[in-house]
Amino acid sequence: MKLNDILNSYQIESLEQLATGKIQDIDHIKLPREVLVDELSNHLLKFYYIQKSLSLRNPPSYLILSKIIDEPDHKISVKGFKDAIKKNTEIFIKSATKGEGLRSKKDYSLYLKMLQVAWESDSSIDLSEYRLLMALRDELDISFKEHIILEHHESLTTYWFSENYYERERNHLIASGILHPLEGYFTIASEMIPIIRKTWGFSLTNEQYQRLLEQIPSHDLTEILKKNELSISGSAAEKSIRIIENYVSPRNALNNLSNDILRDAARKIGSQISGSKSDIIENIIDFIDSDEDLRRKEELEKKLAPPKPEEKVLGKEAFHQIFTPLSNEQLYSIASGLRKINKSGSKMNRIQSIWDSIYSENTLLNQLSSSELYDLCSKLNVKVSGSKQDKISRIVDNFSSYSPPEESDEIENDTASIISLSTQVDREKAKEKRSESIDGLKVKYPYLSSDELIILSFIIENKTASGPVIERLVARFDLPWYFPETQMNDMIKKMQENGQDIIVVQKYSDHPLYQLK
């Protein structure tokens, strides 16, 4: 079940409760239901958010999620679920204490000690501790499956095995928007499954991992199984399934292969074959993780046939009237989502490139999110109600007989327009509030531009901001930042040169992470 469908089944009060602490300004703005669902869905499906919410949660968090993920349609009856999880937890404790599922040649004592130290402070693991434990796991070659076994060891149960241990983790998962109680079932959104698996260190879905292992000869699959003390019998397909089911990570599997085998696998799927061994491994995983191998295969099958041209229904002047209110970032996003559209140049150049493209207005506007279309309708004085396609059709229809508006034209006087204007006022108030914060920063950081002060204000307020968050701020405030990472580096350099080195830059999941010192 899709996340939007799940969220749309909630009452508006439940949605607003779920959005608290997740969507900025939710306590001050009464968002329309469809906008709230869209923004909440976008937030819940961010990798950083899910990683922060699940970062080595206490048992039985993993058992709860894995049980539901393995079910058809990723849902399971609430009835009897609690008893089943508690029973499985007790089994895990017994088998972990006996060392079942652990490799005989490994010394797990150091990792057990580090888990104990992490839990001793407040019986939980924060994000920084999670990263340290991830690094230690990589160094000791401890898989996520082994971690799950070790956290159930009887020497650690004193930190999490309480009377309400099941309710604690269940409630956390529900409050985080990861687990949803729905019509007598617990369910997880289908789009969230691959992100959860990636958070656990399974960087590929089972289907993607299977495609990767299909590129590896059977005798090399045997070596991967030997390395992980698993049975080596069976066909290549059976070996692949055994590797996946025993949670051997893709990086662990590929690291056992020679450079020649890795380059051959990379060549087959179409990823880069140059660089060090670690570079080739990362290229392969990133390529398959983004399903580029499937897209490449599809393109080869079609022999790179150009898309079929679509007919536009509007004249050039009307077309420009629709797309001019969009930000440069939104125009770039439209061009990026479709083939054969030039993405470079000024705002007017991008509008011209979109006009010159082979795509219809419907296809082009469909690249925008529901909330972006809501804002566009407001700016164009078009009714904002209805589905995403309703908004697109209404925009195109309203401009099909476009003529320049006269000064006496009035905004359509209906409920939808009034709501649109009201929410627009609220949004302007939010901007004014941000502006007041920036005025205070101007005194302390007079050498920074107004654009830089907006970004700095957010980082100071939230203590941290990732690359994707910065990009969203740029789009939200329509900042002329076309290369956010480069411009962030320029801003940080200026602050350092002025003796105000307050931001540290780290790498996090292929994105920069800006943190307040």
User: Is the peptide bond between 181 and the residue preceding it cis, with omega within 30 degrees of 0?
Assistant: no
Q: How confident is the model at residue 28 (pLDDT cuts 50, 70, 90)?
A: low
Selected residue with higher pLDDT from 142 and 222: 222
% of the chain surpassing 90 pLDDT:
33
CA distance 31 to 38: 10
Task: Return d(Cα 338, Cα 367) in angstroms, integer.
Answer: 8
49-53, 205-209, 392-396, 401-405: lowest mean pLDDT where? 401-405
Q: Work out the mean pLDDT of the chain and round it to a whole number.
A: 84
Q: Is pLDDT at 414 greater than 60 in this prediction?
A: no
Contact between 188 and 196 under an 8 Å Cβ cutoff? The reply is yes
> How far is it, in rounded angstroms, from Cα 392 to Cα 150?
53
**Closest to 92 in 3D by CA, of 147, 38, 52:** 147
With bands split at pLDDT 50, 70 and 90, how would you rate the model's confidence at 304?
Answer: low
Q: 21 or 121: whose pLDDT is higher?
A: 21
What's the pLDDT score for residue 27?
Answer: 58
pLDDT given at position 89: 93
pLDDT of residue 297: 81
Rounded Cα distance between 300 and 113, Å, is 52
d(CA 503, CA 516): 5
Q: In what order do the strands lie in the sheet with 464-466?
A: 464-466, 511-516, 503-508
How far apart, in whole angstroms, are the C-alpha atoms of residue 48 and residue 43? Answer: 9
Q: Do 152 and 45 touch, CB atoms closer than 8 A?
A: no
Give the Cα separation of 56 and 128 in Å (integer): 11
Model pLDDT, residue 506: 87
Distance (Å, whole) CA 336 – CA 297: 20
> Residue 108 in contact with residue 93, Cβ under 8 Å?
no
Q: Is the pLDDT of residue 222 over 90?
A: yes
pLDDT value at 435 more than 60: no
CA distance 445 to 438: 10
The DSSP code sequence of 46-78 is -HHHHHHHHTTPPTTHHHHHHHHHTSGGGEEES
Q: Is 134 exposed, middle or buried (0-12, 13-18, 19+ CB in 10 A)?
A: middle
Q: Quote the percentage of the chain above a pLDDT of 70.
A: 90
Residue with tokens 């039985």: 60
Least confident of 200-209, 230-239, 354-363, 408-417: 408-417
Residues of 51-72 as b/e, b for ≥16 C-beta within 10 angstroms? bebbbbbbbbbbbbbbbbeeee
Residue range 361-388: average pLDDT? Answer: 89
Model confidence pLDDT, tens digit, residues 323-369: 999 988 889 889 888 877 887 778 888 899 999 999 999 999 999 98
Measured in whole angstroms, how far is the alpha carbon of residue 324 from the centre of its chain?
A: 29
Which of 361-365, 405-409, 413-417 has the least mean pLDDT?
405-409
- Read off the tokens for 375: 């804002």
Q: Calculate helix-pair angle for 450-462, 415-444, nearest 10 degrees.
A: 90
The 10s digit of each residue's pLDDT in 305-315 is 667 888 998 98
> Does residue 509 have a pLDDT over 80?
no
Beta carbons of 481 and 474 less than 8 angstroms apart: yes
Q: Which stretch, 18-32, 365-379, 399-413, has highest mean pLDDT?
A: 365-379
Whole-number Å distance between alpha carbons of 439 and 515: 22
pLDDT tops 50 at residue 73? yes
Report the SS3 class of residue 515: strand
Q: Please say if the pLDDT value at position 303 is more than 80.
A: no
Q: How far is CA 469 from CA 43, 157, 511, in A?
A: 10, 37, 10
* Contact present, 402 and 321 (Cβ < 8 Å): yes
227 against 7, higher pLDDT = 7
What distance in Å separates the CA atoms of residue 294 and residue 430, rounded to the nearest whole number?
Answer: 43
Q: Is the pLDDT of residue 408 over 60?
A: no
The whole-number average pLDDT for the span 27-32 is: 72
Q: Is the pLDDT of residue 420 over 60?
A: no
Three-state SS for 482? coil
Judge whether residue 417 has pLDDT over 60. no
Which pLDDT belongs to residue 306? 65
Give tens-digit pLDDT for 93-138.
Answer: 988 888 887 776 777 888 888 888 888 766 667 777 878 888 888 7
Asked if 281 contacts 261 with a C-beta cutoff of 8 angstroms, the reply is no
Question: Rounded to an integer, what distance in angstroms lies between the CA atom of residue 82 and that of residue 166?
Answer: 7
Integer Rg of the chain from CA: 26
pLDDT tops 70 at residue 434: no
Conformational region of residue 141, where left means phi above 0, alpha means psi within -120 to 50, and beta covers everything else: left
Q: What is the pLDDT of residues 131-181, one digit of tens each?
A: 888 888 878 878 777 888 888 988 888 888 888 999 999 999 999 999 999
Give the pLDDT score at 174.
95
- How far is residue 299's CA from residue 136's CA, in Å, rounded to a whole number? 41
